[in-house]
Amino acid sequence: MNDDKRKKKEKKKADIARGLTIFVFLLPGLLLFVGILIAPIAVSIDRSLYDWNGFSPGTFIGFNNYVELFTNGSIKFMTSLKNALILAFFSVFVQLPLALLLALLLGRAETRLNRAYLSIFFMPVLISTVVIGQLWLKIYNPDYGVLNRFLDAVNLGQLKHIWVADPKTALGSILVPTIWQYVGYHMLLMYAGVKGVDIDLREAAMLDGATKWQVDRYVVIPIIKPIIRVSVIFAVTGSLKTYDLVRIITEGGPFQMTEVPSTILENMLFLRNRYGMGSTISVMLILLCFAFALLITAAFREKDE
């Protein structure tokens, strides 16, 4: 009896000690995570219901900010959303297929050349986006840029554009460097998957008379599907977060046609002192990111079945 009690007591003591250890181990992570991410988001959700300039207490206005986001003609939220979705579309349907193609091609044989290609294709990922923006700005320059002068040189002068200022090409001029930079990132993720495919499995399929393309299509791709799913989620949520290249290349112009949610958010804070509205945009961004993540997961699950 006594023994049992003592055992129970000891167990309780051990439980408390274990609980304490768990707590201590989780503490740094939780502090960072809750303090910088979760709590601010909770505050954002609350503040999105206020007319608030950042230092005053603010007035509660219900969902007025959300309404104004769509009705105020000087806050180009719908345009920004449309642009983010266009970016997401091209990321998923141009960038990722390209990345997949490269991963599959390079994954077929481990030659020196392929290794070199792999290294080269990953290079842009390591360059700061701001550098890339500046660089492309120079490439796009209407008078001295490489692009227009190349078009002149090959007698395609009629294709010349004022790339970043022409409403027709401005978004494209952001799109191209975005895709260019991150193809390597997704390629390497997928390459990891491709390399993970059992060699025997490939050879077996080939012996059965499958071409390389058929092997890729029916053996490799199904196996690396989880990685593709992650890539799709990253590409879409990444597009919703786009900021750097827009700030550097177009500043949201011409005529606010290339604004994205993040640039509008920044304008709200620093140009207009509208912190409440800024919070509203934050909340919309979170909702969109989660919605897309769930949607993509669901889409992949459906395909599996």
Partner 1 sequence: MESYVVKKSNPIINIIVGIFLGIWALINLFPIYFMFTFSLKSNAEIFGENIIGLPKEWLWSNFTQALGTGNMVLYFVNSLFVTTMSIAISLMAAMMACYAITRIKWKLSKLTNAFFMLGLTIPLQASIVPVYVVMSRLHWLNKYTTLIIPYSAFALSMAILICTGFMVEIPMALDEAARIDGCGLFGTFFKIILPLMKPAVSTVGIYSYLQCWNEFMFANVFISDSKHRTLPVGIKALSGAYTTDWGPIGAALVIATFPTLIVYIFLSRKIQASFIAGAVKG
Partner 2 sequence: MKIKRLASIVMAGVMTLSLAACGQQTAPADTATPATDAATEAPAAEQPAASDATVAETSSDEPISLNMWCIATESDSNRHAYEAAIADMQAAHPEVTFTWEAFENQSYKTKIKAAVSANEMPDIFFTWSCAFLGDFVAADKVYCLDDAYQNYKDELPESMLGNTTYDGKHYGVPTTMNIVGLFANMDLLAEAGYTEIPGTYDEFIECCDALKAKGIIPFGCAGKETWCVTEYLESVIEKSVGADALNDIFLGRATWDNQGVADAVDTFQSLVTNGYFDPSGAGLTNDEVKNNFMAGKYAFYMNGTWNCADFAANEEFFPKVKVGEFPVINADQASLGQLIGGPSDTLAVAASSPNAERAADYAFELGKLICHYGYLDGCGLPAWTPYGDTSSVNELTQTVSEIVSKADKFVLFGDTAMSADSANTYLSYVDQVYGCQLDGKQFIEGLAKDIQ
Show the tokens assigned to 290.
Answer: 């989660």
Closer residue to partner 2 in complex, CB, 170/187:
170
- Is residue 271 at the binding interface for partner 1, with CB under 8 A as the rule? no
Question: Which 178-217 residues touch partner 1, going by CB under 8 A?
Answer: 180, 184-185, 188-189, 191-193, 195-196, 203, 206-207, 209-212
Q: Which of 74, 144, 200, 302 binds partner 1 (CB under 8 A)?
A: 144
Size of the site for partner 2 (CB under 8 A): 29
Quick one: what does residue 210 bind among partner 1, partner 2, none, with the CB cut-off 5 to 8 Å set by partner type? Answer: partner 1
- Is residue 238 at the binding interface for partner 2, with CB under 8 A as the rule? no
Site string for partner 1, 5-44 (x = CB under 8 A): -------------xx-xx--xxxxxx-xx-xxxxxxx-xx
- Is residue 157 at the binding interface for partner 1, with CB under 8 A as the rule? no
Quick one: what does residue 261 bind among partner 1, partner 2, none, with the CB cut-off 5 to 8 Å set by partner type? Answer: partner 1
Closer residue to partner 2 in complex, CB, 59/72:
72
- Determine the Cα–Cα distance for residues 282 and 236; give it in Å rounded to an integer: 17
**Distances, alpha carbon 165 to alpha carbons 47, 81, 252, in Å:** 36, 20, 10
CB 227 within 8 A of CB 193: yes
Q: Among the candidate windows 71-79, 109-117, 187-195, 294-302, which touches partner 2 by CB under 8 A?
A: 71-79
Q: At what angle do helices 112-126 and 96-108 cross, to 10 degrees?
A: 150
The single residue listed with the structure tokens 């007698």 is 155
Question: Which 59-98 residues touch partner 1, going by CB under 8 A?
Answer: none
Q: Among the candidate windows 58-66, 67-75, 87-95, 272-280, which touches partner 1 by CB under 8 A?
A: 272-280
Q: Which of 48, 65, 76, 182 binds partner 2 (CB under 8 A)?
A: 76
- Is residue 129 at the binding interface for partner 1, with CB under 8 A as the rule? yes
Q: Which of 7, 9, 115, 217 binds partner 1 (CB under 8 A)?
A: 115
Q: Which of 1, 57, 73, 128 binds partner 1 (CB under 8 A)?
A: 128
Closer residue to partner 1 in complex, CB, 147/257:
147
Q: Which of 48, 91, 267, 280 binds partner 2 (CB under 8 A)?
A: 267
- Is residue 172 at the binding interface for partner 2, with CB under 8 A as the rule? no
Quick one: what does residue 74 bind among partner 1, partner 2, none, with the CB cut-off 5 to 8 Å set by partner type? Answer: partner 2
Q: How many residues does the chain have?
A: 305
CA quadruple 142, 143, 145, 147: dihedral sign: positive
